[in-house]
Chain A
């Protein structure tokens, strides 16, 4: 079967070498799997051939962007990994419409760097923005640091070109986009998208607010959100703040796209953001490698954030949209307890990382029903990302 796989593409587009299989056996979740082979499609036709091969052989394909996911969405399970790293064309920029057509493997930072001269950017900025690819961001419906102002990735996608499990190329536009965005590649591999853009902010400023009392901090949030130039509202709890050398207080990092913030020096702003963005890796290094991503409704934030603080669990995240990242040791029994509390409060257990392999045991009946309907429609042979999500 692998011989046939190799015959589908050019020799340098397929590898069954041990080094390759090992390097692709896990993503940033560090959930380990087994990789049979890796392929690097260079055209949509390559992906079509791969989907047809997979449907015939019964071997599943795992689409992979930058491998920065934290739920094992790109971890193979005796699968062939389809790496989008060579799908990097940026085709058409329509400045009037503020749209750009890009292939799935384009990294976000590279896209935004290319757009800079036009004064435009894609404003969905996940913590992994240096490497994260457009395909991966659509598949997980990424949110990130500026979601309080710009929302999620699905808000910025005009249409998505996918290769489904039957090897058909489909353009999903309008309401059909939701059959791909946020579904973690289970309906097919995203190969291209037309993205909406917005103007780069002219000014930026920051304010850091520290609170001894959680309730007092939460009471400020609604007032802070009334500023139309608010562009980020990040929270760091006292247990996490001390990890980056900040005071052990409930801290809010508020960014504005004007001069309303107290800190206006671009270099100082950059240093503060670097400290915030290094939190994830530093908490991993400090012994808290497991990152969760509950989305907590405002009315439950005091109870759940208070519980996390009392448990001495480091937490940071995008409080402006209620998505938080408490950090744990592997198999910490407080993780299911947290998700129990979040579910009771009407929140989401997968705020922005997706379900992948890590959270499939918590999939709701409603999610399973939608999953099976989509699989029947787009991927009846379970070619793409088998075993993920549910």
Chain B
């Protein structure tokens, strides 16, 4: 019944990171907590939940072993298999086409929409 601990050898899954996570404070669902994302990361599931992380790394500060949940690594795994949010796709397209994440802007125009991941 005990999982093979090599499956998630870095995160001890103690759950002490939950309450400091700003995303968990909104959803109150385990899959959006740093521990939840770490568990999902070990299963090979490619999910847009990995984008639901502010990369603030407060979880690393409170983690008793200083584990960094590596949100960037999880996201790069998504990119590698072509899983992106529509907002992310728009942002990248805008950067490529217009050289900025906002899209076409007239001279002096202040952007009204910021699309990002």
Q: Is the CB of B64 within 8 A of A281?
A: yes
User: How big is the B interface, by class?
Assistant: 20 to 34
Q: Is the CB of B2 within 8 A of A130?
A: no
- In the assembled complex, A177 has its CB within 8 A of some CB on chain B: no
Q: Is the CB of A289 within 8 A of B12?
A: yes
Q: Is the CB of B30 within 8 A of A67?
A: yes
Q: Is the CB of A131 within 8 A of B19?
A: yes
- In the assembled complex, A282 has its CB within 8 A of some CB on chain B: yes
Please give me the residue from chain B that is nearest to A77 by CB atom: B1
- In the assembled complex, A168 has its CB within 8 A of some CB on chain B: no
Given known A-B contacts A32-B3, A278-B65, A128 and B16 have beta carbons under 8 A apart: yes
Q: Is the CB of A281 within 8 A of B65?
A: yes
Task: Report the minimum CB–CB distance from A6 to chain B (whole Å).
Answer: 16
Q: Is the CB of B39 within 8 A of A15?
A: no
A15 and B1 CA atoms in complex are apart in Å by: 24
Q: Is the CB of B19 within 8 A of A83?
A: no
- In the assembled complex, B113 has its CB within 8 A of some CB on chain A: no
- In the assembled complex, A259 has its CB within 8 A of some CB on chain B: no
- In the assembled complex, A277 has its CB within 8 A of some CB on chain B: yes
- In the assembled complex, A30 has its CB within 8 A of some CB on chain B: yes
Given known A-B contacts A20-B29, A67-B30, A130 and B3 have beta carbons under 8 A apart: no
Q: Is the CB of B16 within 8 A of A131?
A: yes
Contacts of A212 in B (CB 8 A): none
Given known A-B contacts A19-B40, A67-B30, A31 and B16 have beta carbons under 8 A apart: no
- Stretch binding the partner chain, chosen from A21-29, A191-199, A307-315, A316-324: A21-29
Interface residues of B in 14-67 (CB under 8 A from A): 14-20, 28-31, 33, 35-36, 39-40, 43, 45, 47, 49, 62-65
- In the assembled complex, B72 has its CB within 8 A of some CB on chain A: no
Task: Report the minimum CB–CB distance from A361 to chain B (whole Å).
Answer: 12
Contacts of A23 in B (CB 8 A): 29-31, 33, 36, 39-40
Q: Is the CB of A285 within 8 A of B12?
A: yes
- In the assembled complex, B5 has its CB within 8 A of some CB on chain A: yes
A9-39 CB mask vs B (1 if < 8 Å, else 0) is 0000001001110111111111111000010
Contacts of B43 in A (CB 8 A): 22
Interface residues of A in 65-97 (CB under 8 A from B): 66-68, 72, 75, 83, 85-86, 88
Q: Is the CB of B31 within 8 A of A68?
A: no
- In the assembled complex, A357 has its CB within 8 A of some CB on chain B: yes
Contacts of B12 in A (CB 8 A): 28, 280-281, 284-285, 289
Task: Report the minimum CB–CB distance from A75 to chain B (whole Å).
Answer: 8
Given known A-B contacts A66-B15, A131-B19, A278 and B28 have beta carbons under 8 A apart: no
- In the assembled complex, A384 has its CB within 8 A of some CB on chain B: no
Q: Is the CB of A19 within 8 A of B13?
A: no
- In the assembled complex, A330 has its CB within 8 A of some CB on chain B: yes
Q: Which of A30, A38, A68, A284 is B16 in contact with, Cβ under 8 Å?
A: A68
Contacts of A19 in B (CB 8 A): 31, 40, 45, 47, 49
A277 and B63 CA atoms in complex are apart in Å by: 11
A281-304 CB mask vs B (1 if < 8 Å, else 0) is 110110001100000000000000
Q: Is the CB of A131 within 8 A of B15?
A: yes
Q: Is the CB of A31 within 8 A of B1?
A: yes
Task: Report the minimum CB–CB distance from A130 to chain B (whole Å).
Answer: 5
- In the assembled complex, A53 has its CB within 8 A of some CB on chain B: no
The CB with the most chain B CB atoms within 10 A, among A33, A72, A284, is that of: A284
Q: Which of A15, A18, A25, A66 is B45 in contact with, Cβ under 8 Å?
A: A18
Q: Is the CB of A83 within 8 A of B63?
A: no
Given known A-B contacts A19-B40, A22-B45, A28 and B2 have beta carbons under 8 A apart: no
Q: Is the CB of A28 within 8 A of B13?
A: yes
Contacts of B30 in A (CB 8 A): 20, 23-24, 38, 67, 83
Q: Is the CB of B18 within 8 A of A131?
A: yes
- In the assembled complex, A46 has its CB within 8 A of some CB on chain B: no
Please give me the 10 A-B residue pairs with the lowest Cβ-Cβ distance, nearest first.
A281-B64, A85-B28, A23-B31, A23-B36, A278-B64, A284-B12, A23-B30, A68-B15, A130-B16, A281-B65
* Residues on A facing B (Cβ under 8 Å): 15, 18-20, 22-33, 38, 40, 66-68, 72, 75, 83, 85-86, 88, 107, 109-110, 128, 130-131, 277-278, 280-282, 284-285, 289-290, 330, 357
* Residues on B facing A (Cβ under 8 Å): 1-3, 5, 8, 12-20, 28-31, 33, 35-36, 39-40, 43, 45, 47, 49, 62-65
In addition to A19-B47, A66-B15, 10 A-B residue pairs with Cβ atoms within 8 Å of each other are A20-B29, A23-B39, A23-B40, A28-B14, A40-B28, A40-B29, A83-B28, A130-B18, A131-B19, A285-B65
A–B Cβ pairs within 8 angstroms, 18 of them: A19-B49, A22-B45, A26-B39, A31-B2, A40-B28, A66-B18, A68-B14, A128-B15, A128-B16, A130-B18, A130-B20, A277-B64, A280-B12, A281-B14, A281-B63, A289-B12, A330-B5, A357-B1
